[in-house]
Structure 1
Amino acid sequence: MGCFGFLKTMMFIFNGIIFLAGAGILAVGIWVKVDSGSILGFLQNLDGAPTELKQVLNVGYLLIALGAVLLLIGFLGCCGAVKESKCMLLLFFTIILIVFIAEVAGAIVLLVFKGLIQNLISQVGVTIVNNIKKDYGTNKDITGLWNATMSTLNCCGFNNFTDFSGSPFSSNSSVYPSQCCKGFTPCTPSNATAQNVTGCFPTLVKWIDSNSVVIIGVALGIAVLELGAMVASMVMYCQIKAKTS
């Protein structure tokens, strides 16, 4: 097997895995959206399952979008290699290049304008806090989403427990969500003040800072794979073009 044959085989295997992964993710996403009633019933019947678990249904559209993109990339890579199609390989290269450029641009923006982005998120946080004060305790989706977020990140509100002051939940019962008080039931204002649980936004920023090395490592690994895929597709493209000339 020559260099071209080896490259062709590796392109087929690598993109075949991507294609199968995309098909699986797409199938799960479609199943979540189409058969949400059965899934919700299954989740509710699990022993000890938190009520916030039903929020998993909200990721259906994300899974469909991600699966479709992976499916397209894998299909173009596989068929382009097997059929030795210059058009498919060029389209494969173009899609990977667009994704790569978007990732690099996003990384540059995050590094250069980190402070500006945090200020922007803080400003957006005002709107989020207003939504909490308006809907938390009456809107089941908003309430469940915040409960799931706070339980997962061990945080309270966007900034802190005061975000829930004046919300329907707090106004009706004069208490805060249980996540705002560790070990105190009910979570009264005095207990929430004493516990002073960190808000979800500061917690998320702290988590990103503490795991920055891992995040950078994963990002670099993905970038290397993308560069390798682009180089392989262009090498095959040039060799196929030379054969047909």
Structure 2
Amino acid sequence: MGCFGFLKMMMFVFNGVIFLAGAAILGVGIWVKVDSGSILGVLGKIDNAPPELGQVLNVGYLLIAIGVLLLVIGFLGCCGAVRESTCMLLLFFVIVLVVFIAEVAGAVVILVFRPLADELLTKLGKAAVESIKKDYGENADVTGLWNTTMTSLHCCGFYNSSDFVDSPYYEHHGSLYPPQCCAVTESACVQTAATITGCFPKIKKLFEENTVVIVGVALGIAALEICAMAVSMILYCRIKSKGD
């Protein structure tokens, strides 16, 4: 197998994986939009939530768009390499280049508008705490969502156990916190709940501890995109020269 054949094979395998990933993401996006009982529906019921939170309800459309984009990229890459189509390879190069530029622009925007993100998180935290105090222990959707989140992350409340004070659950259970906030037994819940980390601080700490991994993954994706563009151009030039 020559260099040209090897590049064709790598182009086919790489874009085949992208095509399958796009199909999976598209499926998840469709499921999110179809499932009315999903977490997104619960978030939409939170009272006094910041207007920006409503954008989360569009995540299904975002996943669908990403899935379709990956399907198109994977299809063009695979077929362009197998059929030696200069048109498909050129279109593949253009789309990946646009995605790469958009990612760079997005990273710059995130860095520049970081204070706005912090402000949004503050508003989100206030809305989450108000929702807990009003609905936890009374609204089945809100209660189930928080129970699942706290059990999965081993955390208590949004910020800490005090978020549950004056909630329906707190009042109906003799001023006790939820079982997820207890380190030992229910009888010791009030004394030990303060030692359980809140869900938001825990998620924030998780991101901070894995910053290097996140940056590494981002750089890896960027490197793969650059390599994909380079290979597509090499194949394009080689095929075009053969045609001439």
Q: Aligned runs of 1:56-135 on 2, under 5 Å?
A: 67-135=67-135
Change (3 A) 1:63 1:107: closer
The answer for the alignment partner of 1:230 in structure 2 is: 229
Higher mean C-alpha deviation, range 145-154 or range 183-192: 183-192
The alpha carbon displacement at 1:8 in A equals: 1.8
> In the alignment, residue 236 of structure 1 is paired with which amino acid?
L
Q: 1:178 aligned to 2:179?
A: yes
The alpha carbon displacement at 1:102 in A equals: 3.4
> In the alignment, residue 179 of structure 2 is paired with which amino acid?
S
Higher mean C-alpha deviation, range 215-224 or range 60-69: 60-69
In structure 1, how many angstroms separate the alpha carbons of the residues matched to 2:62 and 2:142? 18
The alpha carbon displacement at 1:167 in A equals: 2.6
The answer for the alignment partner of 2:45 in structure 1 is: none
The alpha carbon displacement at 1:21 in A equals: 4.0
The alpha carbon displacement at 1:157 in A equals: 1.5
The alpha carbon displacement at 1:198 in A equals: 2.1
> In the alignment, residue 157 of structure 1 is paired with which amino acid?
G
In structure 2, how many angstroms separate the alpha carbons of the residues matched to 1:64 and 1:148? 26
Percent of counterpart pairs with the same letter? 63
Secondary structure at the aligned position of 1:10 is classed as: helix
The alpha carbon displacement at 1:207 in A equals: 1.4
- Contact 1:180/1:187 (CA < 8 Å) preserved in 2? no
In structure 2, how many angstroms separate the alpha carbons of the residues matched to 1:175 and 1:18? 49
- Contact 2:184/2:192 (CA < 8 Å) preserved in 1? no
**May I ask how many residue pairs the two structures share in their alignment?**
222
In structure 2, how many angstroms separate the alpha carbons of the residues matched to 1:117 and 1:210? 19
The answer for the alignment partner of 1:51 in structure 2 is: none
State the superposition RMSD in angstroms.
3.4
The alpha carbon displacement at 1:237 in A equals: 2.9
In structure 1, how many angstroms separate the alpha carbons of the residues matched to 2:91 and 2:168? 52
> In the alignment, residue 106 of structure 2 is paired with which amino acid?
G
Change (3 A) 1:95 1:211: same
Q: 1:219 aligned to 2:218?
A: yes
In structure 2, how many angstroms separate the alpha carbons of the residues matched to 1:24 and 1:121? 30
What are the superposed Cα offsets for residues 38-90 of structure 1, whole Å, 9 maximum, x if unpaired? xxxxxxxxxxxxxxxxxxxxx99887665544333221210121222333223
The answer for the alignment partner of 2:10 in structure 1 is: 10
The alpha carbon displacement at 1:35 in A equals: 10
> In the alignment, residue 186 of structure 2 is paired with which amino acid?
T
Change (3 A) 1:127 1:35: closer
The answer for the alignment partner of 1:39 in structure 2 is: none
In structure 2, how many angstroms separate the alpha carbons of the residues matched to 1:145 and 1:66? 26
The alpha carbon displacement at 1:101 in A equals: 2.9
Change (3 A) 1:159 1:31: closer
The answer for the alignment partner of 1:200 in structure 2 is: 199
Name stretches of at least 5 consecutive residues in structure 1 with no aligned partner. Answer: 37-58
Name stretches of at least 5 consecutive residues in structure 2 with no aligned partner. Answer: 37-58
* TM-score after normalising by structure 2: 0.72
The answer for the alignment partner of 2:43 in structure 1 is: none
In structure 1, how many angstroms separate the alpha carbons of the residues matched to 2:66 and 2:140? 27
In structure 2, how many angstroms separate the alpha carbons of the residues matched to 1:167 and 1:204? 23
> In the alignment, residue 237 of structure 1 is paired with which amino acid?
Y
